[in-house]
C-alpha cells in the first residue's frame, strides 16, 4: 500500500561544482603533510597504529599514513551516530571494532570531523579499554562551536565554522565522499 510522502523530508543532491569550496585539495594536501611531519617528529624511532573511523576518515588516514615517516600500520573502527541525518543523533553505536590488538602500542585515532565530541569521546573510552601505551587524536576538521563534551584533538588540520561540509571522505547520504576538496553543503538541499 503506498504511503503519502507529503510530510516526509526529501533531499536533492546538488552537483559538487555548485557548492562553495571551503578548503581546496591543495590546502588539504599541504596541511596533511605538515601534520604527518609533526607526528613523525613526535614519534621518532617508534612504531604507531593509526585507527581510522569509517567511513569518513578513510581518505584523510590514507594521505596521513603516507605523510608519516615513522613505521605505521592502520586499522579501522566503524560507528553510527548520524545515519542519513545532517545532525548527530547523540547515540553512538559501535558497528566494527579494531581487528588487531593495540595493547602497549602507540595509537592515533583518526577522525574526519570533530564536532559535538560525542563520537570521539565514546571511541577514546573504547580504545583506552584496549590498554595502548599512548592514545592521541588527529582530525581533519574541528568544529569547536558544536562541542557538547570536553574533548580536543592533538592534531587538527583545520578549524571550521558550524557549517555542514562534504568531500574528502565526508558525505551526505553516502554521496560526495570522492570530492577532492571540502565544500559547504547547501542548507536548501534538504527539505
**Mind listing the pLDDT tens digit for each residue in 3-42?**
444 444 455 789 999 999 999 999 999 999 999 999 999 9
Quick check: 92 and 148 in contact, CB under 8 A?
A: no
**Mind listing the pLDDT tens digit for each residue in 92-114?**
889 999 999 999 999 999 999 99
Best CA proximity match to 123, nearest among 81, 61, 66, 85: 81
pTM for the model: 0.87
The three three-digit cell numbers of residue 99, written as one number: 581487528
**Mind listing the pLDDT tens digit for each residue in 48-84?**
999 999 999 999 999 999 999 999 999 999 998 755 5
Distance of CA 139 to the CA centre of its chain: 6
Catalytic site positions: 115
Phi, psi dihedrals of residue 171, rounded to the nearest 5°: -130, 170
**Mind listing the pLDDT tens digit for each residue in 116-166?**
999 999 999 999 999 999 999 999 999 999 899 999 999 999 999 999 999
Counting other chains too, the contacts that 93-100 makes at CB distance below 8 Å and 24 or more residues apart are 94/126, 96/54, 97/126, 98/51, 98/130, 99/75, 100/49, 100/73, 100/75
Class of domain 28-162: alpha beta
Query: What is the Cα–Cα distance from 25 to 13, expressed in whole angstroms?
Result: 21
Amino acid at each position: 500500500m503506498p504511503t503519502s510522502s507529503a510530510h516526509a523530508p526529501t533531499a536533492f543532491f546538488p552537483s559538487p561544482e555548485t557548492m562553495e569550496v571551503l578548503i581546496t585539495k591543495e590546502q588539504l594536501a599541504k596541511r596533511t603533510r605538515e601534520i604527518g611531519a609533526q607526528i613523525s617528529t613526535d614519534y621518532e624511532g617508534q612504531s604507531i597504529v593509526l585507527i581510522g573511523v569509517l567511513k569518513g576518515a578513510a581518505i584523510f588516514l590514507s594521505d596521513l599514513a603516507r605523510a608519516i615517516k615513522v613505521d605505521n600500520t592502520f586499522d579501522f573502527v566503524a560507528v553510527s551516530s548520524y545515519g542519513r541525518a545532517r545532525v548527530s543523533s547523540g547515540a553512538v553505536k559501535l558497528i566494527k571494532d579494531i581487528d588487531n590488538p593495540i595493547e602497549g602500542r602507540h595509537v592515533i585515532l583518526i577522525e574526519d570531523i570533530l564536532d559535538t565530541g560525542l563520537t570521539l569521546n565514546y571511541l577514546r573510552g573504547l580504545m583506552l579499554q584496549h590498554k595502548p601505551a599512548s592514545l592521541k587524536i588527529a582530525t581533519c576538521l574541528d568544529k569547536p562551536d558544536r562541542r557538547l563534551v570536553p574533548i580536543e584533538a592533538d592534531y587538527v588540520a583545520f578549524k571550521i565554522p558550524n557549517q555542514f561540509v562534504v568531500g574528502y571522505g565526508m558525505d551526505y547520504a553516502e554521496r560526495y565522499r570522492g570530492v577532492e576538496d571540502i565544500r559547504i553543503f547547501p542548507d536548501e538541499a534538504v527539505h
